[in-house]
Amino acid sequence: MNDARVVIIGGSAAGVEAAIAIQKYHKVGKVTVIRKEEKVLVPCGIPYIYGTLGAVEKNLMPDALLGSVELVIDEATFIDRKSRVVTTANGKTVAYDKLIMATGSIPIIPRIPGVNKKNVFPIWKDAKYLEELDKALNLAKNVVVIGGGFIGVEFADECRKKGLDVTIVEMLSHCLLLACDEEYSIMGEDILEDRGVNILTGSAAQSIGGAEKAEYVELSDGKRLEADVVILGIGVAPNTDLAQRVGLELGELKGVKVDEYMRTSDPNILAAGDCAEKTSFFTGKPSGLRLASIAVREARLAAINLFEARRRNEGTIGVFATAIGDSGIGVAGLTEREALQEGFDIVVGQAIAVDKHPGGMPGARQLRVRLIFDRKSGRLLGGEACGGVTTGEVANMIAMAVVNRMTAGQMVTMQIGTHPALTASPIVYQLVNAAEAAMVKFG
């Protein structure tokens, strides 16, 4: 027990988890959460508001999660690091002994003409704003989603569930190409197209036309796409306004610089989540990954390390999962492309089998897995999965194998349980068989 005053700035994934974890790991005097938003959204649930959940209020995190904290709904505008006092926009001051910055990220808005027109929506994590998007979609017929990453893909699929005409405009040669290898990107595109989403890849939006409101998106080849609503899903940047204002150091990729214990350049300030700089597990280089799951993990680490260095962050491997319709795509660790870029000599193994057994079990469907190993050490660098509802946990198993530095040989003889209604048969179990397909290539 100590009487430390802890302040958390930010109330999304990292802020919430920091508040919870501090109360689990420490007995402190007082925890104050300062956040701008009246209500907090489940970040990954945002696209699902529109087709699946049906309303913004079905995608809120209840404040009860926070436990016994002082909640200040206000914007933290300054930190006097010497006297350890936070000032808010409304002039409130809150003293702290330890502070956790969890200010999150802001959507990247492309500098194209017309981007500020009405009905052009970057994804701000703000309940009222997202209700405006809901209203606009309810009146729309044609939607253009600029950016074919996870968020763009999920928004496109949700808009289809509402019966809208949807087109994704993606600059790269395929959707999801920053997250997975081409083969899995194409699988994702195939599922989207089966569900009626139009996809234009290798295409850049050059401007957004219309009178007051968006009416169309003009592409670099001059083609015009009708659009009552334009959704921008081209990524996020760390929100470091406050950090910069108070002189905290930033990293190479412009996140708040932190050490392996989530401590910033100020010994009394830690940072976690989208606002914090990340480091790759594989290379130690800065990483641009920003995901709620990473934010929560970092918040937990920051809470554990709040008063003393207790648990190292070994760097992020990156684990994604998405769902399109009833299909899942998951990725953990390095893709083949990333591994090659980092100079690894790789061995790839694949396997595909039904996710129940025998194949006639109701609901059985194909689950495919692709694993990427380092030839030199035999260790797993990453992998991809595409299947049904178990895909997310299969990606998490790949992640666990990566972090534990499992080799192909270890994965071939991994211990699993199997069941007709729950998994593939042990003979064709995908993770084992993909590892085996790689192992026989090691020579």
Give the footprint of its own copies on residues 34-93 (CB under 8 A). 42, 44-45, 48, 52-53, 58-61, 65
CA dist 184 and 186 (Å) reads: 5
Q: Please state the closest distance from residue 360 (CB atom) to its own copies, in A.
A: 5
CA dist 243 and 302 (Å) reads: 17
Contact 293/393 with Cβ under 8 angstroms?
Answer: no
Residue ranges in 265-368 assigned as alpha helix (H): 292-304, 336-341
Closer residue to its own copies (CB): 264 or 293: 293
User: From the list 204, 346, 348, 400, which residue makes contact with its own copies (rule: CB under 8 A)?
Assistant: 400
Q: Please state the closest distance from residue 214 (CB atom) to its own copies, in A.
A: 27
Task: Decide: is 317 part of the binding site for its own copies (CB under 8 A).
Answer: yes
Closer residue to its own copies (CB): 47 or 122: 47
- How many residues touch its own copies (CB under 8 A)? 84
β-sheet bridge partners, residue 367: 353
Task: Decide: is 434 part of the binding site for its own copies (CB under 8 A).
Answer: no
Q: Give 25's contacts (C-beta < 8 A, 6+ positions apart).
A: 303, 304, 306
Task: Decide: is 419 part of the binding site for its own copies (CB under 8 A).
Answer: yes
Binding characters for its own copies, 267-286, by CB under 8 A (x = yes): --------------x-----
Closer residue to its own copies (CB): 39 or 213: 39
User: From the list 2, 220, 341, 404, which residue makes contact with its own copies (rule: CB under 8 A)?
Assistant: 404
Cβ burial, residue 438 (10 Å; 0-12/13-18/19+): buried
Task: Decide: is 352 part of the binding site for its own copies (CB under 8 A).
Answer: no
CB-based burial, 202-215: b 16+ in 10 Å, e otherwise: ebebbebebeeebb
Q: Give 376's contacts (C-beta < 8 A, 6+ positions apart).
A: 344, 345
Closer residue to its own copies (CB): 223 or 285: 285
User: From the list 168, 192, 321, 347, which residue makes contact with its own copies (rule: CB under 8 A)?
Assistant: 321
Residue 314 is encoded by which pair of tokens?
């070994």
**Going by DSSP bridges, is the β-strand pair 165-170/142-146 parallel, antiparallel, or unpaired?**
parallel
Q: Please state the closest distance from residue 279 (CB atom) to its own copies, in A.
A: 13
Please choose, out of 69-77, 228-236, 250-258, 360-368, the segment that lies near its own copies by the rule CB under 8 A: 360-368
Contact 231/212 with Cβ under 8 angstroms?
Answer: no
Q: Please state the closest distance from residue 426 (CB atom) to its own copies, in A.
A: 4
Residues 322-341 that bind its own copies (CB under 8 A): 322-323, 328, 330-332
Neighbours of 266 (CB within 10 A): 18
Residues 8-37 that bind its own copies (CB under 8 A): 13, 16-17, 20-21, 24-25
Contact 384/337 with Cβ under 8 angstroms?
Answer: no
Closer residue to its own copies (CB): 114 or 387: 387
Please choose, out of 67-75, 86-94, 224-232, 389-397, the segment that lies near its own copies by the rule CB under 8 A: 389-397
User: From the list 372, 397, 434, 438, which residue makes contact with its own copies (rule: CB under 8 A)?
Assistant: 397
β-sheet bridge partners, residue 248: none
User: From the list 100, 272, 395, 434, which residue makes contact with its own copies (rule: CB under 8 A)?
Assistant: 395
Task: Decide: is 236 part of the binding site for its own copies (CB under 8 A).
Answer: no
Closer residue to its own copies (CB): 230 or 395: 395
Binding characters for its own copies, 286-315, by CB under 8 A (x = yes): -----xxxxxxx--xx--x------x-x--
Residue ranges in 52-149 assigned as alpha helix (H): 127-139
Closer residue to its own copies (CB): 65 or 340: 65
Task: Decide: is 130 part of the binding site for its own copies (CB under 8 A).
Answer: no
Contact 152/230 with Cβ under 8 angstroms?
Answer: no
Coil/strand/helix, residue 404: coil
CA–chain centroid gap for 9, Å, is 20
Coil/strand/helix, residue 381: strand
Residue 435 is encoded by which pair of tokens?
């590892």
